[in-house]
């Protein structure tokens, strides 16, 4: 099953060609530098950028995967289905990808598979690069799933593909959002997670005091970052004329408290697991963080759990490759005829719509 996948959920315009779990091409056009001067994503700018870029990005994804074919020939003969992110995300951004995908599906008479962006982050460790088979030990379900990104902080039980039980969700901010806000306060720019990571490496996490969220709480089925954020603002304001070293130390302290929270909830959920768990899938933009990976891998190892992350850092952030792989994993039992019957009707394609608040 060869899929043309499209994702425009936030500030990345992305298109990919996937075949089963293999990613043949994965083009990501990031707008983050355009949004950085606003300190966050500006919806009207994101919408305009997606509209201007989507055709180019899709054509490039097709060209990279099939260099010797014409674009229109490929769509007719090589692509079996189109997959598109319908949510969650920024409404005006999602709409650009969904409308574009609908037009293509109707024009070229291809099935259109709607995909949940959070599920795609969750399943992104299944993706395989072309030219190289990764030796990924297939997890036996149920398995743990952790998605940490700019909009999502979810620990879940994957009972099967498409069957998820939320074990812990955030009550307020997502981890990525909290890291971005901390970075902005320190004047490090947007998006801040990766920059904060670099600064934190040079800092002493014990120089300043900052609480670990919900430290006195016995209920370990939720995350919360709003209290930490407020405490961090207060701490920052209490330091007169911070030096460069202070900024490093503050970055290290914030990361430490924010990550400790994830570790505590994960440890609690593992020790209260309802089944024997031997694998954990970990995806989302924050999964690119080396320090966090190291900490979570240690917890997993201590509990005989193998942690799987995406095969490249590009696959941690928003990208259409994971959308194509997720569309395949949810429909791998369908042959071409059944795929057409489920997703190929004109009425069905026309009914596909954005759902900015879509849940896992
Ligand atoms: O998955 P993603 O690209 O978008 C969403 O679906 O939300 O995640 C973006 C988030 C941002 O908050 C960004 O600061 C964070 O991932 N991020 C990181 C790192 N790289 C990106 N956070 C911590 N360490 C990193 N290396």
pLDDT digits (tens, 9 = 90+) for 101-116: 999 999 999 999 999 9
Q: Please give the DSSP secondary-structure letter assigned to residue 38.
A: G
How is domain 143-309 classified at the architecture level of CATH? 2-Layer Sandwich (3.30)
Look at ligand 1, atom 8, and give the residue with the nearest C-alpha. Answer: 285
What average pLDDT score do residues 76-97 get?
96
Ligand 1 centroid, distance to 176 Cα (angstroms): 5
CB distance 309 to ligand 1 below 6 Å: no
Q: What is the pLDDT of residue 191?
A: 85
- Please determine, for residue 219, whether its predicted confidence score (pLDDT) is greater than 70: no
pTM (2 d.p.):
0.96
Q: What is the pLDDT of residue 216?
A: 77
Ligand 1 centroid, distance to 315 Cα (angstroms): 11
- Please determine, for residue 129, whether its predicted confidence score (pLDDT) is greater than 90: yes
Q: What is the pLDDT of residue 332?
A: 94
From the list 183, 211, 213, the residue with the least C-alpha distance to 197 is: 183
What average pLDDT score do residues 55-64 get?
96
| 292-301 confidence digits (pLDDT tens) | 999 999 999 9
Q: What is the pLDDT of residue 218?
A: 64
CB 350 within 8 A of CB 159: no
Ligand 1 centroid, distance to 193 Cα (angstroms): 6
Look at ligand 1, atom 10, and give the residue with the nearest C-alpha. Answer: 150
CB distance 151 to ligand 1 below 6 Å: yes
CB distance 148 to ligand 1 below 6 Å: no
- Please determine, for residue 137, whether its predicted confidence score (pLDDT) is greater than 80: no
Distance CA(73)–CA(198), nearest Å, equals 45
What average pLDDT score do residues 212-222 get?
82
From the list 277, 266, 265, 263, the residue with the least C-alpha distance to 305 is: 277
176, 257, 313, 318: residue to mutate for ligand 1 pocket, most atoms within 8 A of CB: 176
Q: Please give the DSSP secondary-structure letter assigned to residue 268.
A: H
| 294-343 confidence digits (pLDDT tens) | 999 999 999 999 999 999 999 999 999 999 999 999 999 999 999 999 99
CB distance 286 to ligand 1 below 6 Å: yes
Considering the chain, what percentage of its residues have pLDDT values greater than 70?
99
Distance CA(215)–CA(261), nearest Å, equals 8
Contacts for 13 with CB less than 8 Å, ≥ 6 apart: 28, 29, 31, 49, 50, 53, 54, 57, 97
Q: What is the full DSSP assignment across 142-173? A: SEEEEEESSS-EEEEEEEETTEEEEEEEESS-
Per-domain residue ranges of the chain: 2-133+314-351, 143-309
φ and ψ of 31, to 5 deg: -100, 5
What average pLDDT score do residues 262-290 get?
94
What average pLDDT score do residues 279-300 get?
98
Ligand 1 centroid, distance to 78 Cα (angstroms): 33
- Please determine, for residue 243, whether its predicted confidence score (pLDDT) is greater than 80: yes
- Please determine, for residue 138, whether its predicted confidence score (pLDDT) is greater than 90: no
pLDDT-derived band at 189 (thresholds 50, 70, 90) equals confident
Q: What is the pLDDT of residue 192?
A: 93
Q: What is the pLDDT of residue 17?
A: 98
Distance CA(189)–CA(182), nearest Å, equals 10
CB distance 180 to ligand 1 below 6 Å: yes
Look at ligand 1, atom 23, and give the residue with the nearest C-alpha. Answer: 193
DSSP alpha helices (H): ranges in 12-125?
32-35, 43-65, 71-77, 91-108, 117-123
Contacts for 257 with CB less than 8 Å, ≥ 6 apart: 210, 211, 212, 213, 228
Q: What is the pLDDT of residue 34?
A: 87
The mean pLDDT value of the chain amounts to 94
Distance CA(151)–CA(37), nearest Å, equals 20
For domain 2-133+314-351, give the fold: Nucleotidyltransferase; domain 5 (3.30.420)
| 139-163 confidence digits (pLDDT tens) | 889 999 999 999 999 999 999 999 9
Q: What is the pLDDT of residue 16?
A: 98
CB distance 88 to ligand 1 below 6 Å: no
Q: How many CA atoms lie within 13 A of 282 on its CB side?
A: 23
- Please determine, for residue 71, whether its predicted confidence score (pLDDT) is greater than 80: no
Look at ligand 1, atom 7, and give the residue with the nearest C-alpha. Answer: 150
CB distance 19 to ligand 1 below 6 Å: no
The tokens of 175 are what? 């981890």
**b/e for 69-97, b at 16 or more Cβ within 10 A?**
eeeeebbeeebebbbbbbbbbbebbbbbb
Q: What is the pLDDT of residue 217?
A: 72
Q: What is the pLDDT of residue 215?
A: 83
Ligand 1 centroid, distance to 197 Cα (angstroms): 11
150, 312, 316: residue to mutate for ligand 1 pocket, most atoms within 8 A of CB: 150
Look at ligand 1, atom 3, and give the residue with the nearest C-alpha. Answer: 317
What average pLDDT score do residues 9-35 get?
95
pLDDT-derived band at 164 (thresholds 50, 70, 90) equals very high
From the list 324, 312, 285, 327, the residue with the least C-alpha distance to 15 is: 324
- Ligand 1 atom nearest the C-alpha of 12 is 3
Asked if domains 2-133+314-351 and 143-309 share a fold, the reply is: yes
CB distance 249 to ligand 1 below 6 Å: no
Q: What is the pLDDT of residue 190?
A: 83
CB distance 285 to ligand 1 below 6 Å: yes
Distance CA(69)–CA(57), nearest Å, equals 16
More confident residue, 271 or 36: 271
């Amino acid at each position: 099953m060869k899929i043309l996948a499209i994702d425009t959920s936030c500030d990345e315009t992305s298109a990919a060609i996937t075949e089963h779990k293999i990613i043949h091409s994965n083009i990501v056009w990031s707008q983050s530098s355009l949004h950085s001067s606003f300190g966050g994503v500006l919806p009207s700018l994101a919408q305009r950028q997606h509209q201007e870029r989507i055709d180019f990005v899709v054509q490039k994804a097709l060209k990279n995967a099939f260099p010797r074919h014409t674009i229109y020939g490929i769509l007719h003969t090589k692509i079996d289905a189109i997959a598109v992110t319908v949510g969650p995300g920024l409404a005006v951004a999602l709409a650009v990808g969904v409308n574009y995908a609908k037009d293509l599906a109707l024009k070229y008479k291809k099935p259109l598979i709607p995909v949940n962006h959070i599920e795609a982050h969750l399943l992104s460790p299944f993706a395989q690069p072309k030219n190289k088979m990764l030796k990924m030990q297939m997890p036996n379900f149920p398995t743990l799933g952790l998605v940490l990104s700019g909009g999502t902080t979810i620990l879940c039980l994957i009972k099967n593909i498409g069957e998820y039980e939320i074990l812990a969700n955030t009550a307020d901010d997502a981890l990525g959002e909290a890291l971005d806000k901390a970075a902005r306060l320190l004047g490090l720019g947007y998006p801040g997670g990766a920059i904060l990571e670099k600064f934190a490496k040079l800092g002493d996490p014990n120089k300043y005091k900052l609480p670990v969220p919900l430290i006195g709480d016995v209920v370990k089925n939720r995350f919360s970052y709003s209290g930490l954020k407020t405490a961090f603002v207060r701490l920052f304001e209490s330091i007169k004329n911070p030096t460069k070293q202070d900024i490093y130390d503050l970055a290290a302290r914030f990361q430490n408290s924010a990550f400790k929270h994830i570790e505590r909830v994960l440890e609690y959920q593992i020790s209260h697991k309802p089944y024997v768990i031997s694998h954990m899938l970990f995806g989302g933009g924050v999964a690119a963080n080396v320090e966090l990976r190291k900490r979570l891998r240690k917890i997993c190892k201590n509990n005989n759990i193998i942690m799987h992350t995406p095969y490249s850092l590009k696959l941690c952030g928003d990208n259409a490759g994971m959308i194509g792989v997720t569309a395949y994993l949810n429909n791998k039992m369908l042959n071409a005829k059944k795929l057409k019957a489920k997703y190929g009707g004109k009425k069905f394609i026309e009914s596909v719509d954005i759902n900015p608040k879509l849940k896992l």
